Amino acid sequence: MKSTTIARGYRLKASTHMLIKKIQAELNLNQDKVIRRAVKLYYNSIKNPKAKNAEAKKNE
């Protein structure tokens, strides 16, 4: 079953579009999946910043 996308009318800067295209090429994913992953990572970093900092210090 094909998933349906809904246009939201968000306007992004040209530099943001370029970054999305670079990530798409790296990961071989469509624009929706790239944006979803990026937003999810960002949300998780906001939701749990202490775990990210502890993990970063562990890797040093």
Place of tokens 């306007």: 11
User: pLDDT tens digits for 45-56?
Assistant: 999 887 656 666
CA pair distance 11, 2, nearest whole angstrom: 25
User: pLDDT tens digits for 1-43?
Assistant: 667 777 777 788 999 999 999 999 999 999 999 999 999 999 9
Place of tokens 């670079």: 22
Q: Residue 20: its pLDDT value, please?
A: 94
- How is the chain classified by DSSP, letter by letter? -PPP---------HHHHHHHHHHHHHHT--HHHHHHHHHHHHHHHHH-HHHHHHHHHHT-
Q: Residue 2: its pLDDT value, please?
A: 66
